[in-house]
Amino acid sequence: MVTKAENETLVRVGPGTDMGEYMRRYWHPVATSAQLPGPDCRPLRTKLLGERFVVFRDSAGKVGMLDELCMHRGASLALGRVEEGGITCLYHGWKFAVDGTILETPNHADCKYRERRKAPAYDVVERNGLIWAYIGPKEHKPPFRTFAADTVPPENRYVLRIDIKANYLQLWEGGLDSSHVSVLHTNQARTSWGIERGLPNDSSKWTPMDDPSPEFQVEDTPFGYHYAATRTLPPSRADDSQRNVRITPAIFPTGRIIRGPVSDFLVWETPSDDYSTSTYITVYSNNPVDKDWTLKTLGLNDTRFWREDDPEYKASWENNFFQDRSIMDQNWSGFKGIEQEDAAIGLSYGPIFDRSKENLVTADLAVVRVRRRLLQAAQLVKDGEAALGSQIADLTAVAAPDVDVPQGTDWRSVAPFHYEFTVAQAAE
Ligand code: FES
Ligand SMILES: [Fe+2]
């Protein structure tokens, strides 16, 4: 059970808050590479953990992130000119390089002034379609981390961003809550519901989600925790000597890997501020990613909801999330796609939910754990310890196995590699 005070601690991510200070000990994605398509392109305004930044790509193709408001007198640099190796503030022409070096101050000729100061600039890494930044204390900068999604060739990967006006925890909890999958995502996951209604059975590739009462187990790991949902096999594969084990890792501070039928999804729920979140999804596989299939499955092929060139998610209570109740005899939710469903639920609470009002049951095990582990992790940082899992540079072993095993098999034996990691030395 979460108290009102604990809920407040969990959801507030601005500077000086417990969760905000904890989250500032990690690298976070702040944009997709596609949002900055070429040298000197239009700069991006972005928000991370309640602070405003400008992200831009200079003439050499290098990405930088500065405080959005110009260090001179605070005009937004996002209006600025990006050219000849820097971004120039429109107001008085101060020009900055990606590392914050002051290149020009036309209204102040003293070059010593430029040499002595720097604009607030942040460490940025661009890797495999995502731009990551570190905004925490320099002395606590952790190593940059690598995930399984980084190990596949570029054509086997597709990166997308969805901006949703809800607190990050609502969305992260949804992603870690296996018990909703066979209900909310009935049309994709619960084959029997469709078969009863004579629907074409095109979801047969999904795992055995028809079991109405899976068993859930959870255990902490060096990167956060992982949990298993153990289910009986569906009627089409009925074999009572076997069970299906589906493991989901929660990679702190905001990540998870979800196994899909043809690709995996590495998802980050990056808090822009207390009330809005940028969801970054890297879809990856051993085969080339079918982008059209992915967008259709997520329901993001409908431009009323989302467009690739504009990450803001457009369905809200104002348009009833574009829910189509007329199809609900054949479609459980009235939505056509997993992200349409997840986003509608995440937004339906309002931007911040008071968790002290819930009535939790055993099936909510993984959701209870994410809160407890976050509170613990934030406390550890307050006590002067490293942030949970932040020092593990190589997380490529973290995966989301989904396998059938003989009944009675210890679920942990499906992912023994989730317990063995090498802690890297913190970078200076
Ligand atoms: S406010 Fe940016 S140059 Fe003056
Ligand atoms: Fe979901």
Domain final position from 135, 156, 171: 135
Query: Which pLDDT belongs to residue 203?
Result: 47
Amino acid, res. 182:
S
With a 6 Å cutoff on the Cβ, whether 81 touches ligand 1 is no
265 Cα–ligand 1 center, Å: 42
Q: Which atom of ligand 1 is nearest to the CA of 94?
A: 3
Smallest-distance ligand from the CA of 184: 2
Q: Whose CA is closest to 59, among 81, 78, 32?
A: 81
From the CB of residue 238, how many other CB atoms can be counted at a distance below 10 Å?
10
Query: Which pLDDT belongs to residue 28?
Result: 98
Q: What is the DSSP string of 24-35?
A: TTS-EEEEEGGG
Query: Which pLDDT belongs to residue 427?
Result: 43
CA distance 217 to 333: 28
With a 6 Å cutoff on the Cβ, whether 91 touches ligand 1 is yes
Query: Which pLDDT belongs to residue 424?
Result: 65
With a 6 Å cutoff on the Cβ, whether 75 touches ligand 1 is yes
Q: Whose CA is closest to 163, among 287, 339, 326?
A: 339
Query: Which pLDDT belongs to residue 426?
Result: 45
Task: Note down the domain range covering 159.
Answer: 146-419
With a 6 Å cutoff on the Cβ, whether 307 touches ligand 1 is no
CA distance 262 to 247: 16
Nearest CA to ligand 1 atom 1: 73
With a 6 Å cutoff on the Cβ, whether 79 touches ligand 1 is no
Laid out side by side, the sheet with 121-127 consists of 28-32, 130-134, 121-127, 63-67, 51-57, 44-48
Query: Which pLDDT belongs to residue 237?
Result: 72
Query: Which pLDDT belongs to residue 208?
Result: 63
With a 6 Å cutoff on the Cβ, whether 72 touches ligand 1 is yes
Going from the first residue of the chain to its last (428 residues), give the mean pLDDT of each consecutive group of 10, the final group possibly shorter: 96 98 98 98 98 98 98 98 98 98 95 94 98 98 98 98 98 93 88 81 58 88 96 79 94 96 95 98 97 96 96 98 97 96 96 95 94 98 97 97 94 95 61
Quick one: 368 and 399 in the same domain?
yes
Quick one: 94 and 156 in the same domain?
no
345 Cα–ligand 2 center, Å: 9
User: How many domains does one find in the chain?
Assistant: 2
CA distance 168 to 19: 12
- Beta strand 394-395 with 146-147 is parallel
The CATH number that applies at residue 30 is 2.102.10.10
Torsion of CA 34, 145, 270, 386, to 10 degrees: -160
The CATH number that applies at residue 209 is 3.90.380.10
